[in-house]
Amino acid sequence: MPTADPSNPPDGTETVTLRAAKAALRTRIRAARAVPEPASASRARTASALELCAGHRVIALYASAGDEPDTWPLIDALYGAGRTVLLPLLGRRPDGSVRRDPDWAQYTGRGRLRLGYASIPEPVGPGLGAKGLATATLVWCAGLAATPFGDRLGTGGGWYDRALPFAAPEALIAVLLRDSEVLPTLPVEPFDRPVDAIVTETRALRAARE
């Protein structure tokens, strides 16, 4: 299903219906993710993701937590290969204030991490601000599902909806999923940013725009 046309936003009733459909789908996917996947699946996904990263020097990723596909082998492999890896800053600022806008920092190794919001690890280095994302030519964003057309179902917090507008226009936007999370259609809203590539444990897809 193609991404919704922002020039023709859904009315109130349709918005409520779309958001209810998203919530139900998130619940279903998270229930399925409660069943751990084999370690071999994670290794295969990481290997395919590394292939997609070839040629990219600055790559934005996220520190996986909970039931998300494990990004740590990918983060460490890229860092070990001398790539610049950007991770989100989610915790409070050094002065104790709440971050209102997306922020990023450069990953400089496992020993240079602190626990941020929801105990998600984040770099201790200085924040680059929302515009820091513009330096990345490949952005891996969190998600729960996607379609072959590139529509993405986010985790529900809206962080990447706010962050991705700061990505470089030519940046490749990608998502890591389980193969069962690639679905024929998804409920989408005008602000939902599509992705360009999807990597699972069995395949790598480039979005087929309609």
Closest alpha carbon to 161 in 188, 195, 192: 192
Alpha-carbon span 101 to 107, nearest angstrom: 19
Ramachandran category for residue 8: left, alpha or beta (phi over 0 → left; psi -120 to 50 → alpha): beta
Tell me the backbone φ, ψ of residue 183, rounded to 5 degrees: -115, 155
Alpha-carbon span 76 to 57, nearest angstrom: 14
Per-residue model confidence as pLDDT tens digits over 12-38: 777 888 889 999 999 999 999 999 999
Per-residue model confidence as pLDDT tens digits over 73-132: 999 999 999 999 999 999 888 777 878 889 999 999 999 999 988 889 999 989 999 999
> By the 8 A CB rule, do 171 and 141 touch?
no
- Name the residue with tokens 């009315």: 11
Take residue 149 and report the two structure tokens written for it. 């057309």
pTM of the model: 0.89
Residues 6+ apart with CB under 8 A from 167: 60, 133, 134, 136, 139, 173
